[in-house]
Amino acid sequence: MKLPVTEIKSIAIFRALQLGDMLCAVPAFRALRAAYPQAKITLVGLPWGKSFTQRFHKYFDDFIHFPGYPGLPEQKFEPVDFTGFLAEMQVREFDLAIQMQGNGSVVNPMVELFGARYTAGYKIDGHYAPGNSLFMLYPDEGHEIERHVKLMEFLGIPSQGTSLEFPLTADDESAFAQLNLNIEPQKYICVHPGSRGSWRQWPVQYFAALADYCAEQGYKVVITGTAEEQEIIDQVKEHMRTDAIDLAGKTSMGAVAVLIKDAAMLISNCTGVSHIASAFKTPSIVISMDGEPQRWGPLDSRIHRTIDWLQNPDFHLVFRETVEMVA
């Protein structure tokens, strides 16, 4: 390794992103923990990331809330909060800070201000990065999972594989049980029609058509989503000829994961739940609406079918994939 175990006792990872993005970095987190088993590893992320570190406590020991920064769209920048955050980071005196947010063009100067003994991460030509041989030229191709594993390998940290994980807890199982759903494992399919951006929203009538087909094959249909996605879910149900179980706003993230784990299949245009399905090896139909299926779709194309809707906006193609998966 470029940085010996004896020198690295505390590590800060900067990755202030949402669920799907975080799950794609889990193989890199796993490799980092294997390389530095005694180090205290802290995630610097969005407010919800605290629950992520609790779920992935094998890889993280602490969490620090990141208050935003100019040029990052995930949350509003608060100058006063940022000043306090930066002071806290510097007081911690991390041995290593790793920038895993992106190509580094916006955040590399900021991460260096954390004051860590060593700073590592991604860089691109023409933008600032410390000249310490610990910054890898950003690989602007390939899967998101593999990009982060490559960063670990660049730092001399051996890969621990590219498989995803989603640890379940007793609370997750309890939350699922409290739903009192009249369903049996492998006898239902999950439909998750919502998405964080309306521009990534697959037409509701198509979700309804696939759900109806699965129901006609003897599967119960369970529709999941947040309370904010109720309108989309109502529209899907309005287009359906068959009945569906509506769980909009009724489930925790953990309960949804239990549901996906035992489902016969997931149908979605959301990367977060698609990566949960990948972690449990639950077959899935993923409609990619962002133009980067090779980056964000599940790696195993044998049990996960990703359709690039921007290149192939053909419902019959998606339907044929669904028929093959259900058969």
Q: What digits encode the pLDDT tens for the residues 24-71?
A: 999 999 999 999 999 999 999 999 999 999 999 999 999 999 999 999
Helix, strand, or coil here: 305?
A: strand
Residue 257: how many other CB atoms lie within 10 Å: 23
Closest CA to 46 of 66, 27, 61, 22: 66
Q: Which two tokens stand for residue 294?
A: 């090779």
pLDDT confidence of residue 198:
63
Residue 216: is it exposed, middle or buried by C-beta count within 10 angstroms (0-12/13-18/19+)?
exposed
Q: What is the mean pLDDT of the chain?
A: 96
CA distance 108 to 102: 10
The pTM for the full model equals 0.95
Q: What pLDDT band is residue 1 in, cutting at 50, 70 and 90? A: confident
Kindly tell me if the per-residue pLDDT of 197 is higher than 80: no
With cut-offs at 50, 70 and 90, classify the pLDDT of residue 221.
Answer: very high
Residue 327: predicted pLDDT: 82
Residue type, 203: P
Would you say 80 and 99 are in contact if contact means Cβ atoms under 8 Å apart?
Answer: no
Asked if pLDDT for residue 13 goes beyond 90, the answer is yes
Pairing status of strand 220-223 against strand 188-192: parallel
Non-local (6+) Cβ contacts of 100 within 8 A are 13, 14, 15, 25, 28, 121, 122, 148, 151
Return the minimum-mean-pLDDT range out of 73-82, 120-129, 173-182. 73-82
Q: Please tell me the predicted confidence (pLDDT) of residue 155.
A: 98
Q: Is the pLDDT of residue 199 over 70?
A: no
- Over residues 81-105, mean pLDDT: 97
pLDDT above 90: percentage of residues in the chain: 93
Please provide the DSSP assignment of 254-290 as one string: HHHHHHHHT-SEEEES-HHHHHHHHHHT--EEEEE-S
> Which residue would you say has higher pLDDT here, 215 or 131?
215
CA distance 32 to 7: 14
Q: Is the pLDDT of residue 228 over 80?
A: yes
The alpha carbon torsion through 246, 283, 144, 50 (nearest 10 deg) reads: 40
